[in-house]
Structure 1
């Protein structure tokens, strides 16, 4: 384990720690369970705390470019102070609540290229803190999310890549300081009109906020078309997503969307999104109708600034461990060797 290699920071003969997960596969809103196993070293050690954190590789916009970093987005203390005796073996059980907004990293057993998530073990001894032990985890989609993803595949979309962007989406409640973008190549019948299509989920116990961003390359309204809707988890399971998504995409290709809003232009809709008025379009609503908010404009129109504490470390993030971030090249070294075998999706 990487952590054991790094324990030299505590000196020769220091304790060793291994984190064992009951299952490396989880779903948003679930629990990640396992054990932290400690073995005492050549001397008694005063453990101050053992903390587990969920971490992910995130892209942070800075200036004209982006920097990758490793950010912690959930944190649970497994143990407070205790003495680990010389040579003692001790096991600590844990359960970490997985945030509903946790990004997806695996679909049908296939890893999403570009995604890296893990659980990191932090051990504090005598004011020194080591954040070395990091175990890869796979986050599978909720059944409601899977239905939408499967519909895109049935329509002929092909997965391109996925990443996490630091920041918040405009008009969408987020608890985490980043959001996931899953990018698809369009099917052949839309390839001449549409470029990549990006899908974002923001999940909560009540349901899903779903944002679709299509790169529209032809027609009267060229640019990025934004489709946004909210649906309960139960309604998502009973919606014909193939038909609804195909109708939205066909509308973009044939008519440039459903035309301007009530004031003759595209702009912020009634729910904080971009699009026509409250009676236009798609997306399962509370009464089984489809609500839709759609717009054309700059790629970043549906976003607003960086999340709390994340954007401020963007510049320094490329230099090493800063404000919870590890530079991308260091993050890859930490994750290297921990990824399970299997192709990307």
Structure 2
């Protein structure tokens, strides 16, 4: 992916920037590598700073907005001569908690992610354009999403919510929710399932929220589960069986919900322990919003189970262009 743009803040004849990513595809914990190519204008200037930043759309109580959540300086404090070409290589670290934007090569509806180049000259700052970035799941994340698809869950929506999850250590000021509709065998007890991944260098924290239907004399409520898997253990478990046990317990197939401590039925203790499901509200400390979309069918199998249920969003370039280049810091 390449973008080239005359920097607005510096007027006609100012420097231009051409940012080239070697590969726009990445995963949490990896890097985005490339070069920032700066071309001098019709006069000498002093480049005070060149900064790269990851930008995404986050929901909050005040509505949707673009947020830059990770910044890395590339260079600063050098003279750029008239017409001079300066190439600045970079290796941009992608935070472990960076949300997933693509699964099986398809962009999740509701997700946008871009790498922004910011250039500062003589106290004027231009934030330039955005290069679309595709963040693919870690192996553990992918195995769990596969398991939901194998069980017949259909993708509903993905979004980013401002705030934190109670009891979970987070570095970023938001978290991702990947929402699924249940298959027919669970539809009588569950309205939907929300999956949140919080990754770090040693593993992935997985938070599950089940929106449970009410019964004849009982009100509907939410059930929550939390567990952790190390990166090394991603390929060691039968994830379809493990996820099925979580869903079955949440749906009340194992003598109802547990409100105390303990493990999931059928769980594997070697994965650091699985927290029990509990009922209640306000687990994430915010007011939830519904963003249900229609479903579409594509290929069969696991990929079809997830990708086939996705409604692909707008092309990221169009989203960023429509925004007019103004982003919330």
The residue number in structure 1 matching 2:141 is: 145
Within the alignment, does 1:4 sit opposite 2:5 as a pair?
yes
> Equivalents in 2 of 1:141, 1:226: separation in Å?
22
Q: 1:150 to 1:291 in 2, by over 3 A?
A: same
Per-residue deviation, residues 4-31 of structure 1 (Å, max 9, x unmatched):
25x2321111110011101000000001
Please tell me whether the aligned partners of residues 222 and 296 of structure 1 are also in contact (alpha carbons under 8 angstroms).
no
The residue number in structure 2 matching 1:240 is: 238
Please tell me whether the aligned partners of residues 44 and 85 of structure 1 are also in contact (alpha carbons under 8 angstroms).
yes
SS at match of 2:61: strand
Per-residue deviation, residues 27-61 of structure 1 (Å, max 9, x unmatched):
00001100001111111111101000111111112
Deviation at 1:82, TM superposition (A): 0.8
SS at match of 1:168: coil
- Equivalenced residues, count: 292
Please tell me whether the aligned partners of residues 164 and 179 of structure 1 are also in contact (alpha carbons under 8 angstroms).
yes
Within the alignment, does 1:203 sit opposite 2:204 as a pair?
no
> Equivalents in 1 of 2:119, 2:149: separation in Å?
43
Within the alignment, does 1:52 sit opposite 2:52 as a pair?
yes
Please tell me whether the aligned partners of residues 28 and 139 of structure 1 are also in contact (alpha carbons under 8 angstroms).
yes
SS at match of 1:13: coil
Q: 1:221 to 1:293 in 2, by over 3 A?
A: farther
Within the alignment, does 1:93 sit opposite 2:76 as a pair?
no
The residue number in structure 1 matching 2:77 is: 81
Please tell me whether the aligned partners of residues 37 and 86 of structure 2 are also in contact (alpha carbons under 8 angstroms).
yes
> Equivalents in 2 of 1:185, 1:150: separation in Å?
14
Deviation at 1:257, TM superposition (A): 6.5
The residue number in structure 1 matching 2:176 is: 180
Match runs of 1:258-273 below 5 Å: 258-261=256-259
> Equivalents in 1 of 2:234, 2:255: separation in Å?
23
SS at match of 2:137: coil
- For structure 1, the residue ranges without an aligned partner over 5 or more in a row are 262-275, 306-330, 338-345
SS at match of 1:14: coil
Q: 1:249 to 1:155 in 2, by over 3 A?
A: same
Per-residue deviation, residues 100-119 of structure 1 (Å, max 9, x unmatched):
00000001101100001111
Deviation at 1:176, TM superposition (A): 0.7
Per-residue deviation, residues 206-251 of structure 1 (Å, max 9, x unmatched):
1110011111003457311111111111223211111121122222
- For structure 2, the residue ranges without an aligned partner over 5 or more in a row are 288-316, 324-329
Question: Which segment is superposed worse, 50-59 or 288-297?
Answer: 288-297
The residue number in structure 1 matching 2:167 is: 171
Deviation at 1:282, TM superposition (A): 5.5
> Equivalents in 2 of 1:125, 1:289: separation in Å?
51
Q: 1:292 to 1:257 in 2, by over 3 A?
A: farther
Per-residue deviation, residues 167-214 of structure 1 (Å, max 9, x unmatched):
110000001111000111111211222112110000011111001111
Per-residue deviation, residues 140-186 of structure 1 (Å, max 9, x unmatched):
00111110011111110111111111111000000111100011111
Aligned-pair RMSD on alpha carbons? Answer: 2.5
